[in-house]
Structure 1
Amino acid sequence: MEEKEKLLKKSKEIFSLVSCMYCYYSGPYKIETVCILLCNAWELMLKAYIIGKKGKEGIVYKNKQNKGRTIGLNECISKVFTNKHDILRKHLESVIRYRNSVVHYTVDSFDLSLYSKIEYCIVNFKAKMCELHNVNMSDMIVNQANEEILKNDVDLYKYSKKSLCREINNVLKSLGIEFKIDSQTFELFDRVYGIKENKEYCLISNVNNRPSYRYSSRVLNFIVGLIQKNPNNIKEVLKNKIKK
């Protein structure tokens, strides 16, 4: 078996553990373990891609000090995802920073926004496996998580509309995008894409005989992705879709 195929095989095996652990495991050190394994899976997958393009020398340091050592995940990301403002690259870098902190020391606090970034990196692993290697990961990914476990452990629907808009704006700011979403703009997204009707995006409950809406990190990533494609004209695009 060639080096590239070995790396891909190992990457898929590791990612299958990530998927199952993220969806079903509810014990201690869940997020720490998911981050460590997820970074490992991404690194091997990207190294396989670089080898396919440049040969094994593409993943080996060229300076004398590191002679013989292979590059790390950060270097792989910069070689493959050359746009430093790309949302996937940004989210991967956030996961790497957390991975590094838990590997080398204990971390008492946890930034809740990392949940959405981890999920984004998990979902996009499948997409990049298909795009970069023509590998279908459908059989190795748990598509429907146990929602009760996720609600208790990860707080799947953790955002109100106000906090969702605030977190979207935080992500956009980190990406260098000046656009800001508000309640009215969010309603445009809802009218066009049926966000409140999508169970992956929204949980509807009854409070005092009135509907109450909570939103998941999936809709955060979905909206950020749409804005990133067309930040200057996104409102006009949505309004035109509604008119049609």
Structure 2
Amino acid sequence: MSTTEQRVAVVTGAARGIGAATAVRLAAEGRAVAVIDLDEAACKDTVEKITSAGGNAIAVGCDVSDEAQVEAAVTRIAEELGAPTILVNNAGVLRDNLLFKMSASDWDTVMSVHLRGAFLMTRAVQKYMVDAKFGRVVNLSSSSALGNRGQANYSAAKAGLQGFTKTLAHELGKFGVTANAVAPGFIVTDMTAATAERVGMGFEEFQAAAATQIPVQRVGRPDDVAGAIAFFTGDDTGFVSGQVLYVAGGPLD
């Protein structure tokens, strides 16, 4: 068994969408995977997809914005799978609205899951990475980090994750730990379906309209993002850190 095959990966928000695709991709590359989501039962499909293909995965229920739950989850992962040295901070929520309609709760919820969650998860896992002198942290940003109408909270959180990523790269690099961010553009997920509903468009119509604005003339799929994440988690990417990779089908103006 190679060193890569022995790595333990943690993927948050992995019950569906980009997180599920990432968990499956990392498992296919030989990693044991902790599939984390708010509802442990919701992780069943992802775990079964991995184990039915001969992989090793466990489902873990955890609110990533809750400090005690995060500590308990990471301790359990270390005990059941081994020391986690790959972390993908993917968990996220939407509370879209125009600024004058956005409640303080809408703002706080998005910040708690995206930013506080990434902070708590990374803080809990980094000690295992430092001990192993190897670690890969990948944070999910978004093209919305550049600004997007109706997403003041989400855009600010995703921009914040880019700053968080670069700081981690500075602080943890000397321990063999890299930190990078992947920023998806339009990806077909439950979250983009919710955006279509918010703006009053059918999802198919919404996708078709988006595709006309993308240089490759199609919308993205979760597997497109999973491939980029997998690149950053590899053993041979130890000299790539502090980067933000936009997975958006073309350059963003």
Tell me the TM-score normalized by structure 2. 0.25
Structure with larger Rg = 1
| Bigger helix share | 1
Is the strand fraction higher in 1 or 2? Answer: 2
TM, length-normalised to structure 1? 0.26
